[in-house]
Structure 1
Amino acid sequence: MASAPAVTFDDVRAAAARLAGVAHRTPVLTSRTLNAAAGAEVFVKCENFQRIGAFKFRGAYNAAALLPAARRAKGIAAYSSGNHAQAVALAARELGTGAVVLMPEDAPRSKREATAGYGAEIVTYDRYTEDRTALGEALAADRGLALIPPYDHPDVIAGQGTAALELLEETGELDALVVPVGGGGLIAGSATAAKALHPAVRVIGVEPEAGDDTLRSLAAGHRVTVPVPRTLADGQALATPGEITFAINRRLVDAIALVDDEEIAYAMRFAFERLKIVLEPSGATPLAALLAGRVERPPRRIGLIASGGNIDTPRFTKIVSG
């Protein structure tokens, strides 16, 4: 007998109820200019307008809210390159507890400052030489904190899936849903919701060329580790897909597209100049894939999840003017 899926559509719907009135129901943007460039009708789910500036708040809050009260009161630990760090810090503050977050030394300054601003203690590490999962687990164990990982957790995945649920509630059936892939939590939750509502929808993930671990893993049929990527898309600079997320994505994701740094930068500039929104590099990868012709055609109606907009002014200016 096949085992039950780690995350179900009912889990996503329950997360949506839990997040109602706490997370923002972010807008869905349309643009005739984008439609003309893509040759399709495109709907952009603007998670750059989510609390903390990215979709990560959905999963972090859902997971934190589901902790037993006594466990949650002792505090929460997390490891993250930035957006999950902020999400856990804010979720902890909303739920009346503390947070300690392990962040890479080279995490963008804006993300470090925002995480501290939400009240979290920050501990740093070297992402290129140290294992953040092992360090994060040790930190949580040493301090007696509940660890909420950035993607490989059913409650986190269910929370992230609410972004796609909202998008599809607004747009109706889509031919394709294009989602950025880092550890795989957003696309796992999104695919769970999308395939439950519209089984024929194609779910397409987007990775930076330098970090194609999910593409390689899906091709191999098992998780593959690549060197820690150096890419503009710091939120997708991961070496290995999550265990839980990969099991879901192997069943539900139809394709993975790759984009390079130049294409990401162009998408950020297009979003700013033509759509009037600011996207961080990871948040721009689905748009980059669409504009660069990496999305298989002919889908007539395409949903994109623009996953976040957390980037400081000097870095944004350097990238879009480059």
Structure 2
Amino acid sequence: MDRLKLVFSKDPCQKYYNMTRTLGQGSFATVKLATCKSDQSKWAIKVIKKTSLSPEDEEALQSEVSILQRVNHPNIVQLKEVFDSPNNFYMVMELCTGGELFDRIVTKEHYSEREARDCIRSIVEALKYCHDLGIVHRDLKPENLLYSDYDESKAVLKLADFGLAQLLNDNALMTAACGTPGYVAPEILEGRPYGKEVDMWGLGVISYILLCGFPPFYDESNKELFRAIKSGQYDYPSPFWDDVSHGAKDLIDHLLVLKPEKRYTAENVLAHSWMNEGLSGDVNLGHFKTNMKAYNARRKFRATILTVQMMNTLKPKSGGAVEAAG
């Protein structure tokens, strides 16, 4: 019995949860499916190896936990509780089994502008809630937009992963370069101080993709991609945008704005006429599925390549030392 108590004191999470299969794995964290022993409810537990964390990683983790403990919104993945042990840090998170946004909608046989608008509304509701609390997400991308369930009748779209999120103090601006290529705002690329407007740029990019199946800015070369983003030049090519309403394009035109102060806020988006008007019919966006499948395949292939490249930067020399590629 004493030995059992010792185990629990070292690993308190296992006292309350049974962890089973792995849902995902990163460089210093593993996400496990877990069952709460008291009520048999299902959760996703992020197990973070503390020995793998640098001081900067520890600070970022503390910031993420602090922010998640502040938020409570139906369109944000919830943090239930945390456990700290000598070797691991555990984050008990709401389990989302419905998959990523882009993976989900590409399976639809019929997909309309109205459905795209419903997705956009869920995202912007989450952003407005965060921004009202002074929280900037800073990494809005499809991988961080998850459905709670596969059942269409109860599936809710949720914003996840606040690992790069920051709490603005007295409207102070941020300067750290972060984000994901393709979704990052021009002011970040230019090294200018920035605020919550970067999330609205990301919303503009995702909204564009949700309506046609490909991004407004794309290039295999990050250098050329960033150049395109900083220019702010994009269009609505035919025939892919022929069935999309003027109102939808007008909303995007107010989000993909180079000057942050002129970019729509989350409140502006929710008040926009397109978000509130009755869309005529339920016209299928015919070109969407083919475009979305191709874009999804490209982005996932690129993510795999980037992972391989990262692994290759840490190759042991013949003498056993680790060399970081320059």
TM-score greater than 0.5 by the shorter chain: no
Structure 1 or 2: more helix by fraction: 1
Q: TM-score, normalised by structure 1?
A: 0.25
**Structure number with larger C-alpha Rg:** 2
Q: Which has the higher contact order (CA 8 A, sep 6+)?
A: 1
